[in-house]
Structure 1
Amino acid sequence: MLSVIDTRPFPAVPQVFNLARHVLAAGQTTPDKPALVILHPDRDQVLTYADLITRILGCAAALLALGLQPGDRILMRLQNGPAFPVVFLGAIAAGLVPVATSSALTASEVTRLAALAGPKLVIADPGIALPDHPAPVIAPDPGLWAGFPPAQVHLGDPQREGYVVFTSGSSGLPEGVSHAHRAILARAMMHHAWEGLTPDDRLLHAGALNWTYTLGTGLLDPWTLGATALIPAAGTPSAALPALLS
């Protein structure tokens, strides 16, 4: 077995940093390029980088307008769709902390996770089980958020909490895993050495976005490079994936 070790030095971590700004920087240079394509059996839903960034920064402004403060956590109860990355990166851009959870969780399961996470707000798609928790619940509205004046990206210590995901609980109960803003920088080694990604690529990942592997490989990595992310619409059966690619 032959292993290759990259011994090149990594760039220094900036003193002030925001994960969302880092991920969206490349896309700002190609505003008309497709950033996200939601694949449906009969159509494709396309967001350009300009669309995506407008919605993300509008979402950030809308969340702050609710009185949330940097560091507050937001529980995400969202399906695979355009609202997920808008809320995820919009919260991070505002200095808030999104907590991604599986849309398949039952009410009792997500109630336990909410008790652990302590969110100040829950953002939920219709029909998704909600926790028994005092935090207010709102529905995502990327179209409305796009009309908000864009928020200024919140810069701060790169070591501060950026987002939280929960483990699957396959060996016990799910536990929250906190990720710092700077964690995105460690993915740089994967772009070329592991994935071979370029800005010209269109990358499809069929997993749920609340898992770190899908979130990183399927969204954050292609957007960091200015590539295009493809996501099957919520509820797409695995047998339908080959037809979606044609």
Structure 2
Amino acid sequence: MLHADETPARVGGGFKYVHVACTPELTLFHVGGRGKANIDAGGVLPGFTGTLVRDGYAPYRHLTDADHAWCGAHLIRDLCGVHESDLAGQQWAEVMATTLLAAKKTTEQATAAGRDALSADEISHLRACYAGALAYGREQNPPDRDGKLSRAGTLIERFATHRDMILRFNVDLAVPFTNNQAERDLRPVKLQQKISATWRTLQGLADFATLRSYLSTATKHGKDALDVLEQLFTTGPWLPEPAISS
């Protein structure tokens, strides 16, 4: 399973993006634009055949070898934004958010009980609640006379189109509800930008991404940052032990 995310970074007078592909043991950052070729430039995601946990960033869609799981925290934020803009007219968003949180609780309880899957009845019930929230949303947000959808209507159709990706954590209990792993790994990048406001050169940003990949991975293996930096400039870089296939 891989987690992926991206964040904008100011370089001089423009912007680039820092992309991350990570696991609980490994972190890789690279710098590029926002297109799918820039995602592929990291060399990790193309051809990946496991589960990719990510947000709604459209260029990830070309990674068709992977099973995609949509971060529930991003979806809850989208639903809250729609609901708070019109509490009476967008009650469907609250119903959908409640459904997602109920699904999350159900999977957590199953995992805590040592189960490796939800029952067919549990999955059927959650999907029925999901379908009901969609129907309520369409009732509250019909297209206009030209057939165009509002912002809320577009969000509803996103939930309809990507149901399986959004609910993947219900059918595979190993899939987390959120993409917190990638967001945690990106936090130092965002903090550095908050402090410095901008990187002077693209090469400087690329070097920062390389260094953060090294330090983040080492930290995940219980290594001290100063120790691995000293090792880098003396005896050579620290490297994690390769995984052993059973």
- Pick the TM interval, shorter chain: under 0.3
Q: Is the radius of gyration larger for structure 1 or structure 2?
A: 2
Higher helix share: 2
Q: What is the TM-score with the length of structure 2 in the denominator?
A: 0.24
Q: What is the TM-score with the length of structure 1 in the denominator?
A: 0.24
